[in-house]
Amino acid sequence: MNEEIRDKEVRLVDSDGSQLGIMSSKDALKLAVEKNLDLVKIAPMATPPVCKIMDYGKYRYEQAKRDKEARKNQKTVEIKEVRMSLNIDTHDLNTKVSHARKFLRDGDKVKVSVRYRGREMAHPEMGKGLLEQFVQACGEDGVMEKAPKMEGRSLAMFIAPKTTK
């Protein structure tokens, strides 16, 4: 912006959006100084580069305000984790399912993992069956996002909340 613009010629746009044509960057800077505004390069890759006369401080303030408003309206999706062991009892499983369904209703993703201990590592298919049972129990609140996958000594999968349209 201003003196940092090193191009010989620029296409100038006035503060109200009207085209002022192609002129030297020195003349464009003089016009901006006369209006007590800044000369800002908005399209540097064009031939010749496009510059606009504007109040740069006011522009940055309004841009920050728009960004803040956009951040306020977006929701961050958290990943909650439910951990189980391979020989979990039915009531304990139902408790874990109810926790996971609560997380899914709140709009969070759920990572469900089954920890293997000792000789349980010899039977990974039992963990897959347990996770399938878990997904069916969460049926109306969530949908499987990532299939079960071994991560070290645990089998993990992700359940995403169902989108309501």
C-alpha triplet 14, 19, 23: angle, nearest 5°: 85
pLDDT, tens digit, for every residue of 145-162? 889 999 889 999 999 998
pLDDT at 141: 85
pLDDT at residue 72 above 90? no
pLDDT of residue 165: 45
pLDDT tens for residues 4-28? 888 888 898 988 888 888 988 888 8
Interhelix angle 124-137/90-105, nearest 10 degrees? 50
pLDDT at site 2 = 79
Domain holding 83: CATH number?
3.30.110.10
Q: Which of 35, 57, 72 is the last residue of a domain?
A: 72
Residue that terminates a domain, selected from 72, 88, 105: 72
Same domain, 60 and 89: no
| Residue 24's CATH number | 3.10.20.80
Residues above pLDDT 70, as percent of the chain: 99
The single-letter code of the amino acid at 57 is G
How many independent structural domains does the chain possess? 2
What is the dihedral sign for C-alpha 135, 137, 138, 139?
positive
Given 45, 72, 99, the domain boundary residue is: 72
Q: What pLDDT is stored for residue 73 in this prediction?
A: 79
Do 100 and 59 lie in a common domain?
A: no
pLDDT in tens, 125-145: 888 999 999 999 988 888 888
For the sheet containing 109-115, what is the strand order?
Answer: 79-85, 109-115, 154-161, 142-151
The rounded distance, in Å, linking the Cα atoms of 87 and 91 is 12
- Token code pair at residue 89: 């009892």
| Same domain (yes/no): 103, 36 | no
Same domain, 89 and 120: yes
Domain that holds residue 133: 79-161
Task: Give the model's pLDDT for residue 6.
Answer: 82
d(CA 39, CA 7): 13
pLDDT at 164: 57
